[in-house]
């Protein structure tokens, strides 16, 4: 499973990249607005830090506008993937961008029919929003499972990118459901390291190593 970080924070992306487990980045207009910087400059800096796919979302609702933005985003860095919503306009834009070899991530996906549309149109990625479905009393992970099953059935090559993940259990369930990618907030990626037994075990190993070192130094000390 690939791990993407869902943020536009340079500090967070740099840190995740330094761990050596970062496969890509997803941004959205909310993340970008939070940074308060020029969009192009920000995305180019992100793309230079993370060589994997970096999703950049369009900010208009009409196909022509999305095509124009998508073409511009694609000139910013070779690893840009254009994010378009699963609307008729978004899918029209995807077709046009795809014809120019620009990869697209279809976002705001909340149902299997929407995911089938994305795959049929030739999306590189489809982003089912797990957390937002859960927030509304639906089962987000079941949607990921259903999309993976349907895509396998027809041999679609669109990669399933489980999005809107809120905690490590979402990542675990997305992996078991067969998602190709999990995109998660930095905090969740950090939490993936955590296990109390790791912390307890490490503390004991370090204490034992320190005790041995102290004993050896005492033995070596001149009398």
Residues that bind ligand E4P (CB under 6 A): 6, 26, 28, 107, 127, 129, 131-132, 163-164, 183
For ligand E4P, the closer CB: 142 or 208: 142
> Closest approach of Cβ 110 to ligand E4P, in Å?
11
Cβ distance 184 to 171 under 8 Å? yes
For ligand E4P, the closer CB: 1 or 198: 1
Instruction: Provide the 10 A C-beta neighbour count for residue 90.
Output: 24
For ligand E4P, the closer CB: 53 or 122: 53
What is the three-class DSSP state of 95?
helix
> Closest approach of Cβ 138 to ligand E4P, in Å?
13
Between the alpha carbon of residue 163 and those of residues 38, 201, 210, the distances in Å are 25, 33, 43
> Closest approach of Cβ 101 to ligand E4P, in Å?
22
- How would you label 178-209 residue by residue, b for 16+ Cβ within 10 Å and e otherwise? bbbbbbbbbebbeeeeeeeeeeeeeeeeeeee
- How would you label 64-84 residue by residue, b for 16+ Cβ within 10 Å and e otherwise? eebbebbeebbebbebbbbbb
> Closest approach of Cβ 162 to ligand E4P, in Å?
9
Gap between the Cα atoms of 125 and 82, Å rounded:
10
> Closest approach of Cβ 216 to ligand E4P, in Å?
52
For ligand E4P, the closer CB: 158 or 164: 164
Catalytic residues: 83
For ligand E4P, the closer CB: 39 or 216: 39
Three-state secondary structure string covering 176-223: HHCCCEEEECHHHHHHCCCCHHHHHHHHHHHHHHHHHHHHHHHHHCCC
User: Token pair for residue 74?
Assistant: 């694609």
């Amino acid at each position: 499973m690939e791990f993407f970080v869902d943020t536009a924070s340079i500090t967070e992306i740099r840190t995740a990249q330094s761990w050596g487990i970062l496969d890509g980045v997803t941004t959205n207009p909310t993340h970008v607005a939070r940074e308060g910087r020029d969009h192009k400059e920000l995305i180019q800096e992100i793309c230079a830090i993370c060589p994997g796919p970096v999703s950049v979302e369009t900010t208009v609702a009409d196909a022509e506008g999305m095509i124009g933005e998508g073409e511009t985003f694609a000139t910013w860095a070779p690893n840009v993937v254009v994010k378009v919503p699963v609307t008729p306009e978004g899918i029209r834009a995807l077709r046009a961008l795809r014809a120019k070899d620009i990869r697209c991530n279809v976002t705001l996906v909340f149902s299997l029919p929407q995911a089938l549309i994305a795959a049929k149109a030739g999306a590189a990625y489809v982003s089912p929003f797990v957390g937002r479905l859960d927030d509304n009393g639906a089962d987000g992970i079941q949607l990921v499972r259903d999309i993976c099953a349907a895509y396998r059935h027809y041999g679609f090559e669109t990669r399933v990118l489980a999005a809107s993940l809120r905690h490590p259990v979402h990542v675990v369930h997305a992996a078991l459901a067969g998602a190709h990618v999990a995109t998660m907030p930095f905090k969740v990626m950090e939490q993936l390291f955590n296990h109390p037994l790791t912390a307890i075990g490490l503390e004991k190993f370090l204490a034992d190593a320190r005790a041995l070192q102290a004993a050896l130094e005492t033995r070596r000390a001149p009398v």
